[in-house]
Amino acid sequence: MSVAVQLGIIVVYLLVALAVGLLAYRLTEATAEDYYLASRSFGTLVLLFTTFATLLSAFTFFGGPNLAFSAGPEWLIVMGALDGVLFAVLWYVIGYKQWLVGRRNGYVTLGEMLGDRFGSPGLRGLVAGVSLIWLFPYVMLQQMGAGEALVGLSDGIVPYWAGAALITAFMILYVVLAGMRGVAWTDTIQGLFMLSIVWIAAIWVLAAVGGLGSATGSMLEARPDFGSFGGGLYTPGFIISSAITIAFGVTMFPQINQRFFVAESGAVLKRSFALWPVLVLLLFLPAFMLGAWAAGMPIDVAEGANVLPVVLNEYTPFWFAALVIAGAMAAMMSSSDSMLLSGSSYFTRDLYRPLINPDASASREAWLGRVGVAVFATLAFFASLLRPGTLIEVGDTAFSGFALLALPVICALYWDRTTRSGMIAGVAVPQIIYLALVLIPTLPRSFGGWDYALALMVLSAALTVGVSLVTSPTAESDASRFAVAGD
């Protein structure tokens, strides 16, 4: 009975989100700039929350508390430092300039921006292709998260595949129907919803276990090592490499990077940047501490299950637990629909049109973008059934893959002397090496807690600069495309 009510709450929540998307769809104009960027019209609240909700995925909402539960609350520090501070600074460093040149030259995607600057459809396609490769595991991650969430909530009555299938269906429906405006509107609602619900959950659980001091006290009784900073999994190498690869990786995520283009004004960008650390902290603190406190609670978390739903089922009414899971599903959906939307713009604008069919009509392009979304999400769904690793492992792989793009892009944005060959070498070589490290299981991924991706990031910068210095700019490249001096 209660499982049926819980499922009902989740489905109703997803339908409400869909309704908001449809409302926004009615306002969407039939241009790519409006479908993908909502005509660059976002104010502070919408920009802040759409970036926020897009960033918060299954990785944050379930993976985070799981890790805090098994390894200690230091995960709060890792994620706070990288998402709250390092990402914010990178957002300003990369995003501000991208926003300026994007507004001036009408760019919709990262690949388009670089392709135009260097006069190279090949570079454009390369950046889009690399991005789509790493987007795949990240979409999968959301489906895995949703599947596991429903298993946890329903005590296994709803099988894993059904939860994953449910979110896949909603994701596809959503992106096909609504564009960026719809996605951003629901993101804003969902961001506010998640933020309030997770605080209510924390207060509810704390009240049930006898307050903050007693929750921390029982946590330390069960796991004395949780009280001291560092130790166990959390070596300096792990903290630094996670923080750097994830923060740089996030800036190159198609769905995050595309949001660099959408601010209505510079003032919006500045307000969002300054509010960001506090907003991030407000969500991470209750979510991850709930996971850590759970270590001292008399609950039974099955192997591979998510800790958050178990805690909520134990200490809060079943309808409230369902609301939180709905919030988490919403987090995954708002990440996934943004990913698929951005992925579809990368595919149609940077790969299909320039390389396969330059004469495609706008309606053919729009149709193809939507079919692409359905195919991509369905393939990721089947891959997610294999469950190739934990949420954190799958997420980390994708983050590092994207992080390898960041330094060449910063180079292109700020150094006029960057050449096309420098960019292609700086993007392609580290990607090939990293793909080999990921796909060949016998090769090691880290050395003493330090992720090899960090070394590959250094390689990407060295190759971009080095090859640029020994080659000369091609006739088609035009550094003035990225100039921002008042003209």
Positions that interact with other proteins (CB under 8 A): 73, 76-78, 80-81, 84-86, 88-89, 92-93, 96-97, 100, 211-213, 215-216, 220, 224, 226-231, 239, 243, 265-267, 270-271, 273-278, 280-281, 285, 289, 483-487
Do residues 402 and 134 touch, judged by C-beta distance below 8 A?
Answer: yes
Q: How close are the terminal C-alpha atoms of the chain, in Å?
A: 67
Of the two residues 151 and 201, which places its CB atom closer to other proteins in the complex?
201
- In the complex, what is the shortest distance from the CB of residue 259 to other proteins, in angstroms, rounded to a whole number? 18
- In the complex, what is the shortest distance from the CB of residue 45 to other proteins, in angstroms, rounded to a whole number? 15
Of the two residues 4 and 274, which places its CB atom closer to other proteins in the complex?
274
Of the two residues 224 and 448, which places its CB atom closer to other proteins in the complex?
224
Of the two residues 88 and 123, which places its CB atom closer to other proteins in the complex?
88
Of the two residues 377 and 411, which places its CB atom closer to other proteins in the complex?
411
Of the two residues 271 and 387, which places its CB atom closer to other proteins in the complex?
271
- In the complex, what is the shortest distance from the CB of residue 76 to other proteins, in angstroms, rounded to a whole number? 7
- In the complex, what is the shortest distance from the CB of residue 8 to other proteins, in angstroms, rounded to a whole number? 37
Q: Which residues of 341-370 are buried (b: 16+ CB within 10 A; e: fewer)?
A: bbbbbbbbbbbbbbeeeeeeeeeebbebbb
* Amino acid sitting at position 85: V
Of the two residues 444 and 486, which places its CB atom closer to other proteins in the complex?
486
Sort 61 into a burial class: Cβ within 10 Å, 0-12 / 13-18 / 19+. buried
- In the complex, what is the shortest distance from the CB of residue 120 to other proteins, in angstroms, rounded to a whole number? 24
Q: How far apart are CA 341 and CA 176, in angstroms?
A: 8
- In the complex, what is the shortest distance from the CB of residue 74 to other proteins, in angstroms, rounded to a whole number? 8
Do residues 153 and 6 touch, judged by C-beta distance below 8 A?
Answer: yes
Q: In the 8-state DSSP scheme, what is residue 451? A: E
- In the complex, what is the shortest distance from the CB of residue 204 to other proteins, in angstroms, rounded to a whole number? 16
Selection from 271, 280, 225 nearest residue 86 by Cα: 280
Sort 440 into a burial class: Cβ within 10 Å, 0-12 / 13-18 / 19+. exposed
* Amino acid sitting at position 387: R
**Distant-in-sequence, close-in-space partners of 192: CB < 8 Å, separation ≥ 6:** 49
Of the two residues 97 and 353, which places its CB atom closer to other proteins in the complex?
97
- In the complex, what is the shortest distance from the CB of residue 479 to other proteins, in angstroms, rounded to a whole number? 13
Do residues 290 and 201 touch, judged by C-beta distance below 8 A?
Answer: yes
Q: How far apart are CA 198 and CA 182, in angstroms?
A: 24
Do residues 456 and 432 touch, judged by C-beta distance below 8 A?
Answer: no
